[in-house]
Amino acid sequence: MRLQKDGSEMRNEIIIIGFVAICSLLVAVFGDGDLDRDLEITWGDGRARMVGDNNNEQILKLSLDRDSGSGFQSKNQYLFGKIDVQIKLVPGDSAGTVTAYYLSSLGFAHDEIDFEFLGNLSGDPYVLHTNIYTQGQGDKEQQIYLWFDPTKNFHTYSILWNPLNVIFYVDGTPIRAFKNLEARGVPFPKNQAMRIYSSIYDADQWATRGGAVKTNWSEAPFIASYRNFNDRHACVWTSSSSSSSCSSHHQYSWLRHSLNASGEAMIKWVQKNFMIYNYCTDTQRFPHGLPPECSSP
Ligand SMILES: *[C@@H]1O[C@H](CO)[C@@H](O)[C@H](O)[C@H]1NC(C)=O
Ligand SMILES: *[C@@H]1O[C@H](CO)[C@@H](O)[C@H](O)[C@H]1NC(C)=O
Ligand SMILES: *[C@@H]1O[C@H](CO)[C@@H](O)[C@H](O)[C@H]1NC(C)=O
């Protein structure tokens, strides 16, 4: 064993340490706040904007007025991932508005994993609506109230999508899991790459109290804010080469993650205390029997 390093080895180490330090500094400065890198504004004619906050953090704001809503999408497509974003929903009177944040493959027989936030009058609770489409087939709606006011602060909304299940999280608490039950003949989204999409739009025909409360346009513009988009734990799909950045799946533990007993208990807690609607208990809607994924294994 050699105890002395020669000059060139030392220099190399110093260069490497310097490089690592600069990289960490860049990560500290730009962090997850680098929305420009990951997201692109796609519509709204100037109503969607990237702005800096007091801490130099990037915030993307989507706005809606009488003439138009606005939206963005991820630059990347993904085939599986754990993707987080922080959202602060429209404050005050947001009745009639919907803020949607979802993964979708678009097109015919699309797969989709949806968060939709249905606005409400000042002081009345937002509804978080979730749904999953596999090969064009949705009809898996659930709705909950949140256990906090989602318009006061940013909160983290995450989608974990892997070959075993789709799990929706709010601030790290799982609120819904859709298991891969292909063995029971239930289609599961796993063959189509998806992109993140988000938009704010007017839906006063149905969104608030089933459409009874209309959008009050004198409160416009309605603005939802986004920050800290994080797709570092996602497999980026390149369609030109049909290849995924996760070629050796075994190294990513999130790709094998499913809920343990305490995660399942959290979902039960959400369902017991905050659930408004669950397609899995809607026997009127499915008079010939509930969908197969609704019965326990
Ligand atoms: C709005 O508030 C009313 C009254 O609390 C409630 O019934 C409804 O579920 C809330 N949310 C929506 C989207 O209608
Ligand atoms: C609509 O908003 C305006 C401005 O805040 C308010 O004066 C008015 O009362 C609201 N209208 C309704 C129907 O709530
Ligand atoms: C269950 O999973 C959660 C989240 O992944 C983890 O933090 C926790 O330690 C696990 N609990 C048990 C009892 O394994």
For the CA of 263, the nearest ligand: 3
pLDDT band per the 50, 70, 90 thresholds, residue 28? very low
Please state the φ and ψ torsions of residue 32, each to the nearest 5 degrees.
Answer: -80, -5
User: What's the one-letter identity of residue 289?
Assistant: G
Q: Residue 17 — φ and ψ, nearest 5°?
A: -60, -40
**Residue 252 has what pLDDT?**
86
pLDDT, average across residues 14-34:
48
Phi, psi of 147 (to 5 degrees): -95, 15
Tell me the CATH architecture of domain 7-294: Sandwich (2.60)
Q: What's the average model confidence in pLDDT over 247-253? A: 71
In contact, 105 and 133? CB cutoff 8 Å: no
Mean pLDDT taken over the chain: 90
In short, whether 253's Cβ falls inside 6 Å of ligand 3 is: no
CA-120 nearest atom, ligand 1: 1
| Residue 150, strand partner residues | none
Average pLDDT of the residues in 118-136: 98
The one catalytic residue in 57, 112, 219, 293 is: 112
- pLDDT band of residue 20 (cuts 50, 70, 90) is very low
Residue 55 in this model has a pLDDT that exceeds 60: yes
| Residue whose entry in the numeric block shows the structure tokens 């008079």 | 287
258 by DSSP, 3-state: which?
coil
DSSP 129: E
Name the 3-class secondary structure at 22.
helix
Contact 160, 167 (CB under 8 A): yes
Instruction: Return the higher-pLDDT residue of 1 and 272.
Output: 272
- Is the distance from the beta carbon of residue 99 to the nearest atom of ligand 1 less than 6 Å? no
Q: How many CA atoms lie within 13 A of 109 on its CB side?
A: 7
All residues at 6 or more sequence positions from 10 whose CB lies less than 8 Å from its CB, including other chains: none
> In this structure, which residue's CA is closest to atom 3 in ligand 1?
124
What pLDDT score was predicted for residue 9?
Answer: 52
Q: Break the chain into its structural domains and give their ranges.
A: 7-294
pLDDT at 56: 83
Q: What's the pLDDT score for residue 30?
A: 42
Q: Which two tokens stand for residue 115?
A: 């968060």
Rounded Cα distance, 215 and 286, in Å: 32
**pLDDT number for residue 66:** 98
- Rounded to whole angstroms, the Cα distance separating 86 from 104 reads 19
Which token pair is 10?
């030392």
Q: pLDDT band at 116, cuts 50/70/90?
A: very high
Omega into 221 within 30° of 0, i.e. cis?
A: yes
Angle at Cα 166 formed by Cα 160 and Cα 167, nearest 5°? 60
- 261 alpha carbon – ligand 1 mean position (Å): 32
- Which of 121, 216, 222 has the most ligand 2 atoms within 8 A of CB, as the residue to mutate? 216
* Highest mean pLDDT (candidates 24-28, 30-34, 286-290): 286-290
Check if 124 has its Cβ closer than 6 Å to any atom of ligand 1: yes
Mean pLDDT of the 185-209 span = 97
Q: How far apart are CA 49 and CA 85, in angstroms?
A: 16
Q: Residue 45's closest CA among 30, 62, 31, 28?
A: 62
CB 163 within 8 A of CB 111: no
C-alpha 100: how far from chain center: 9
Residue % of the chain over a pLDDT of 90 = 82
**pLDDT value at 34 more than 50:** yes
Is 241's C-beta closer than 6 angstroms to any atom of ligand 3? no
Distance 213 CA to ligand 1 centre (A): 9
Question: How far apart are the C-alpha atoms of 48 and 59, rounded to whole Å?
Answer: 11
pLDDT value of position 220: 98
